[in-house]
Amino acid sequence: MIVTYERNGNSFELDTATLTPAGIDYLLQYGFAQSLQDSVAGEAKRVRIERAAKGDTESEIVQAIDDAIAGKLGKRYDSIAASEMGLPSTREPLATLAKELVTKKLAKEGKKVSKERLAEMVAEAVETKRDILVAELARRKAFDVEVEV
């Protein structure tokens, strides 16, 4: 398996077949912990604002935050344990772009679909419209210019 990371024009690729067990352990542990953390990012702030606006006491707010975070962590854990992470490929540039375009098309048409159907539509777009997606990514990268401030 090849894992990739791209940011600010830098691209890194790693063939997991070349890793030692310690390297694989590190990636799995870090990825697992980061995925759980990502699932609750911003949740405490969102709940605090929402509950404060309702006039809840501090102890009620803290309990609501704890409950919300526990729920989100549990949901993410369950999805990982069942290998049902939604659209994990959205970290891939082609899938990210496909999801963006499919979502825009659905919105323009006033249509709503389930997460599962969206995942199917994204996978289908990546498979059948790969050349178009690659060209669009290239166009966007060519347009990406640095601005001096």
* pLDDT tens digits for range 43-72: 999 999 999 999 999 999 999 999 999 999
| Residue 13: its H or E element | strand 10-15
C-alpha to C-alpha distances, 94 to 102, 133, 137, nearest whole angstrom? 12, 6, 8
Phi and psi dihedrals of 110, rounded to 5? 70, 30
Whether the per-residue pLDDT at 143 is higher than 80: the answer is no
Whether the per-residue pLDDT at 147 is higher than 70: the answer is no
Whether the per-residue pLDDT at 91 is higher than 80: the answer is no
Whether the per-residue pLDDT at 27 is higher than 60: the answer is yes
Give the confidence band of 80 by pLDDT, cuts at 50, 70, 90.
Answer: confident
Question: Of 75-79, 86-90, 99-103, which has the strongest mean pLDDT?
Answer: 99-103
DSSP code of 111? -
CA 134 to chain centre: 20
Of 20-29, 119-128, 133-142, give the lowest mean pLDDT range. Answer: 133-142
pLDDT tens-digit profile of 6-16? 888 888 998 98
Say what the pLDDT of residue 88 is.
45
Higher pLDDT, 145 or 138: 138
